[in-house]
Structure 1
Amino acid sequence: MFDPETQGHTAAELCSRIAASHATLRETECEELVLAAAWADVHYLDGDEAGYRPLVERSCAWGGQGCPPVAEHCALELGALRGTGATAARMLIADALDLRHRLPHLWQLVRTGTVRAWQARHVAQTTHDLSWEACTDVDEALSRSLPLLAWPRFRRLLHAAVLDADPEARRRREQDAGEQRGVWSWTGDHGLRTVVAKAASGDAVWFMATVDRLAEVLRADGDTDPVDVRRSKAIGLLAQPALALALLLDHADDPDRLPPAQAPHAVESPAPGPATTARLDEDEDADPDGSGRDLVLRRDLLRHDLRAARPRVVLHLHVTDTALRCGDGLVRPEHGEAMTLDQARDWLADTGCPITVRPVRDPLDTAPVDAYEIPLRLREALFLRNPVDVFPFGQATSRTLDLDHTTPYVPPGAGGPPGQTGTHNLGFLARSHHRAVTFAGWKRRQPQPGTYLFASPNGYVYLTTNQGTVALGRTPYSRALWDCDPAEDRSTKERVGAA
């Protein structure tokens, strides 16, 4: 039993206790999966054997392709032993068999208690419908990365790997997903309604870009409501297309907008000619209330270049040269789940606007600068090298994260060396992590560009790269690894090496 009384313990003692408790939790969870696989072995039942009586007890293939069948009633006792129902026990057996027979690398991590059981089970369930060969490919590519990555990062990689592993199933799922699109609305509280839409990724991106732009327009016109409220109002404006378009055109030249050279343009709209104007003048139905407002609005819209009203979107899509050459593969947006090359092609083509392709900058060729301020080219290069918050198990992926100097910047006038601001001495941090290394006792170094060592206030060491995080603990090895940097301050070394 554990002692719930924690008063009087030092931070170092609590660190040791928390680390030990977490290790025990992992081991206990994983042991349950190992025991479930053993339980399935004891209750193996082959439906082709002589004496098989399906009316008494059927042989059930709960695992995926390549897993052995088991006797159907075995889940009843396992569920009772665990205090759950038979359905939960069947799912546990299925996941354990999938892990052992279809995901051998991940199964080895389970056997050593290196991963959380719920994460391993999620992988098993996600790959359950794949063929045995495709499943082993996913296992080979990803399983060793699971202990290194924050779960949201690993889940995105898993989604992409499953898509890539079975092209035929992927195409069937795409076809099925296309039939599930729709828009729904139901009554909410206090006179509000909730609207839910399921649409193609490209349509959703452009819709949200237009909503965000209209929210900016409302703010420019003096609306002081929070941004989410203004977005809600923008949906109401979109329900009146002429009014929304007029507002967008009125603010097309706002100084805070991206210049046309920096973003994709909309399809050109032909300028109105005399025939168009004359037709409006003769169209009596265009002004049903006789006020002339609709005619004026329509003339004003036709006099504008409608390209200016389109939201301008910069997309960052990662695709391999192999996928481009063979015409099939995956595209990974900077934000969101992976998609197929066909989906990305449809996404871009359906927008009706030309695409501006920009070259990718090589981070290794980006020269440092002497100034404290970080130029845009350096920020771009760093994002390409380390696109995720470099703090241990960080998961934030945004180009607006803080960029912090690993070794504090010293002005040249105060004796600072040249070239302090470069990819060798910078790293992305979420604001809370930036504050932690500034005020909360966390220390950090960058022994080589893109590789970061962090030491916690109680001396636990973590190594992070763009591949993930390795927790090195507080051991002689971690102390030696940290001590190999002679430039680090002595107080941190003493804290890392403290017993």
Structure 2
Amino acid sequence: MDLGTRSRSTAALLCGLRAEVEGRQASLVRDWATIAEWAGDHVVTGPEGAATITEGYLDTGVPIAGAGAPLVGEFALMELVAVLGRSPDGGKAYVGRVIECAWRLPNVYDAVATGRLEPWGAERIADLTHPLSADAASFVDRQLWNASGVGWAQLERLITEAILRFDPEQAETDRQKAADHGHFDISEVDDHGLVHLDALMDAADGHDLDLAVGRRADVLGRLGDESSLDVRRSKAAAELARQDLALDLLIPDPRPGRSSPPSREWLRTRHTTIIVRPVIDLADHVPVTAYEIPDRHKTRVALRDHTCRFPHCTRPSNRCDIDHHRPHAEGGATCPCNLVPLCRRHHRAKTHSAWRYDIVIPGSYVWISPSGFRFRVDHRGTHPIHDTSDTSDTSPPDQ
């Protein structure tokens, strides 16, 4: 292939790539418009809209954007997130960012809709404005009428100004919270006899320390120390430490980990706990008559399914409720073949909303959303079922 042909081939490839990028961008913008329309159709305004679970079964409104944005139905949100193919927490955050822009940041939303700002940039802005009051968020949005021309450092300064203007109490709370993270740490000695310092301190204290170290480093240079400025500054900091008049009165280093007690065999250590469990057969089905689920059944279910079995949910099964697929009151057995791990949020959805699921075989499930969307959940993850005659393999992994 000659140079001219190769150049034309490269240009064609890049043109095709640019078209794909623009197509994805346009698709995301359409997603945003659809999500905003969906949110408008699922606003919760009744007494249950307090975003708290008062009765345990209400489709409560959840505040996924800042003050002034609508509360959307919790169970309806689960369906939207599942259709988007996102995890419950990640999908909730994503929808919240879109709603934040659509209701509280109209200039930012318009910039996305007209292609002047990429959606990921608007999501970053939404994350920063989410905690702001409605007035503060409106102030930020007015300054972002041309959002595509704002850098991140400038945006963070704008957020800080909005908090100071409209919520000075919150600004002081944030300052105190940040101050609580102050520290001054020295690492262990490395192979060259050196240590690393890491510190976070009040700006005024840091300024004074910097001036003191700089002045002493300058004096060292005037006295004939030919080291670099950085090295002289490190020496200067050490000299400041040696001027501590109480240095010689200090007790031996009390920090934990500087000395260690004689080692003992772990089996003889007083606080060691040894638990012996029998080998668990995950295929075993031994039902019990009681509603209460014995620990041996919980262990089997947790080892079989690993996570909550709701579409895209990744909460570990050992932190989930155990659901009777067929209710015990209707004759459902308390047996691993009828037990499924569901996190509290999705257990509520299955019990109190139109979400439902069928067990194909233990460990493989088909969920049906309130609007009739179907999802297969098994050891391979979550997969939407577009064809009602889908007969794809749902068998468990080889043992």
The two structures have a TM-score, normalised by structure 2, of 0.49
